[in-house]
Structure 1
């Protein structure tokens, strides 16, 4: 089954990412959407009182979980209004540290795509969006990062930041695309990619994996993060 896993923390960025994922699913033949949030309480918080002498107990954790589930159910209900009945929406809550929870969910559900809303403002409430790069490194499937201002437009043209044909990777996700321009390697990679995306009015930037990518194995995190944080188009990180 062709699934989209959307990571949700109820910030404006993640709410926008959910709306984008719903439009993408309806347009590109995805068969299910999973909305995932996380409710991890470190052991330290449970055994050591805060400066205000507040100690997190079992009842507090249960209350947090119930509130989170209620929020997810409400979001699920809203998203279902935008989708055909043939695309079900499920919810999931992780209880481990975020990266571990997401990795477990990705491995158990085997989604075709993971969608994350990116954070652009220091001090905002997008706890998941601030961990885009660490998440992209551990998630074993393609990751689509949605900027806060991005809205879904039918995919016709994508910009490939790399040097190889990505069709075999893109086709299972989006089908055939009309136009896939490439951007060659130069010194100022960031400026080149962003300018090419603007000039060609693409709907998405694609970062290729392995030796064909400017972001080989995501080890050059400063470049990857710069693209994610500066692009106004969604960025798809292939694996």
Structure 2
């Protein structure tokens, strides 16, 4: 069974990610979706009033929990309209969002975390969307970031962007094999550093590592890395961009929110942050 964890905060951004997850599950023979909402009330909030002079009492918390459970069930119903056969669990936790995600991943074999990213005009719309990259930093499993422009398409072609440097340390082969073994994908490897000398030994290592997937290799000299990747994905009509946010990789810079937000906003397809 493939299990997807979808953190939601009832924003349009999170709703978009949930709908994407439902369509993705429809394409899988055996998939489960966990809709997770984190409702954390700190000790500070329970003592002092909010800026609106509201004190978070036990009664207020109970009412909020009821509202959130109703919202989770409503979102589940929307997703079942997309995939009536989907197994969907609603899960309300009283921990912080990040702790809730990590705890759930440690309790159950989660294949993928699916998060929506905010668009240019919705920076404050979703706390989860605003913190997508922070979540991916701490997540022990791959994170799929769904941009606001990304509509679900059957994933047939994926772009693996790589700069051919320290490939043995950079490419998480176990995670990559896990993804590619479950989905019949045409893999395109894009070198985004072709303006510089390519280390032939590293290139040879990469060809050996990926030979079982029979990828096609492409080279780009676009002056803007992010634009180059997005442009290539669009020209090839790819349905997925695979990023490698690991030490030595140029995608390590994706862990800086400004760069990563730029990619997920400008991309028209989901970005998979792949980790071992």
Please report the TM-score for the alignment, with normalisation by the length of structure 2: 0.78
Partner of 1:231: 267
Using the TM superposition, give the Cα deviation of residue 221 of structure 1 relative to its aligned residue in structure 2, in angstroms.
Answer: 4.5
- Give yes or no for contact 1:32–1:88 (8 Å, CA) kept in 2: yes
Instruction: Look up the SS of the partner of 1:54 in the other structure.
Output: coil
Alpha-carbon distance in structure 2 between the residues aligned to 1:217 and 1:2: 30
Using the TM superposition, give the Cα deviation of residue 94 of structure 1 relative to its aligned residue in structure 2, in angstroms.
Answer: 1.9
- Give yes or no for contact 2:114–2:143 (8 Å, CA) kept in 1: yes
Q: For 1:1-239, what aligned pairs fall within 5 Å after superposition?
A: 1-85=1-85, 87-120=86-119, 121-122=121-122, 124-162=124-162, 163=164, 167-172=176-181, 174-185=182-193, 188-210=224-246, 213-216=249-252, 219-239=255-275
Structure 2 unaligned blocks of 5 or more: 196-222
Instruction: Look up the SS of the partner of 1:160 in the other structure.
Output: strand
Alpha-carbon distance in structure 2 between the residues aligned to 1:66 and 1:225: 33
Any idea what the Cα deviations from partners look like across 1:143-187, whole Å, max 9, x if unmatched?
001111211111111111224676514224x42213424233256
RMSD (Å), alpha carbons: 2.2
**Residues 101/132 of structure 1: CA separation in 2 closer, same or farther (3 Å cut):** same
Q: Which one has the largest radius of gyration?
A: 2
**Residues 114/219 of structure 1: CA separation in 2 closer, same or farther (3 Å cut):** closer
- Give yes or no for contact 1:12–1:148 (8 Å, CA) kept in 2: no
Structure 1 unaligned blocks of 5 or more: none
Instruction: Look up the SS of the partner of 2:127 in the other structure.
Output: coil
Instruction: Look up the SS of the partner of 1:73 in the other structure.
Output: helix
- Count the aligned residue pairs: 237
Using the TM superposition, give the Cα deviation of residue 124 of structure 1 relative to its aligned residue in structure 2, in angstroms.
Answer: 3.8
Alpha-carbon distance in structure 2 between the residues aligned to 1:104 and 1:124: 26
Using the TM superposition, give the Cα deviation of residue 95 of structure 1 relative to its aligned residue in structure 2, in angstroms.
Answer: 1.1
**Residues 126/221 of structure 1: CA separation in 2 closer, same or farther (3 Å cut):** closer
Instruction: Look up the SS of the partner of 1:128 in the other structure.
Output: helix
Q: Judge which range, 188-197 or 149-158, deviates more.
A: 188-197
Using the TM superposition, give the Cα deviation of residue 31 of structure 1 relative to its aligned residue in structure 2, in angstroms.
Answer: 1.9
**Residues 222/81 of structure 1: CA separation in 2 closer, same or farther (3 Å cut):** closer
Alpha-carbon distance in structure 2 between the residues aligned to 1:11 and 1:158: 28
Alpha-carbon distance in structure 2 between the residues aligned to 1:28 and 1:51: 46
**Residues 51/209 of structure 1: CA separation in 2 closer, same or farther (3 Å cut):** closer
Alpha-carbon distance in structure 2 between the residues aligned to 1:125 and 1:118: 10
Please report the TM-score for the alignment, with normalisation by the length of structure 1: 0.89
Alpha-carbon distance in structure 2 between the residues aligned to 1:30 and 1:171: 17
Alpha-carbon distance in structure 2 between the residues aligned to 1:24 and 1:52: 41
